[in-house]
Amino acid sequence: MKQILSFLLLGLGLALAHAEYVTSSPKAKATLKTLPSSISIIFSEAIEVRLSIFKVYALNGPKGADSHQLEGLAQDKVSALLNRKNDAALRADTGVKTSARTSKIVSLCLKSGLKPGSYVVMWNNLSTDGHTKSDFFVFSYAP
């Protein structure tokens, strides 16, 4: 009986698994003096890179906004823009540079000449087990 219960709990844990955000470069809530040329996101498990969505947008928030305000602005952007089509000209990234079909690490190239301010990195990933997960993080560029 214990073996059956253990097997069921293990199966339930696997069925509920999602590719969760683990860390990134830059880190969430970081303030950078130098803007990187790319952003890397590390997930807890491999995702289907080409079947997932990744975007970076400027937040255009008020000067001196705290992290709580920035997160609220970012959530609004994610809701409005994550699934928007044909928005490359409005974004701060030039697309995913990760070429693997599946990966735990996804990198996006940033456009050159981005202005100081806060940016939201957003995604809707499809893990290799078929689950989707939307999330985001914010970083600031203040040279």
Q: Are 72 and 57 in contact (CB under 8 A)?
A: no
Are residues 31 and 140 in contact, defined by beta-carbon separation less than 8 angstroms? yes
| Residue 1 resides in a domain | no
Domain membership of residue 6 (yes or no) is: no
Question: Domain count of the chain?
Answer: 1
Question: What's the pLDDT tens digit per position in 36-92?
Answer: 999 999 999 999 999 999 999 999 877 778 888 999 999 999 999 999 999 999 999
13, part of any domain: no
| Virtual torsion, Cα 79, 82, 86, 89, nearest 10 deg | 90
Range of the domain at 58: 18-141
Residue 114, in any domain of the structure:
yes
Q: Domain with 62 in it: what CATH number?
A: 2.60.40.1220
pTM above 0.85, yes or no: yes
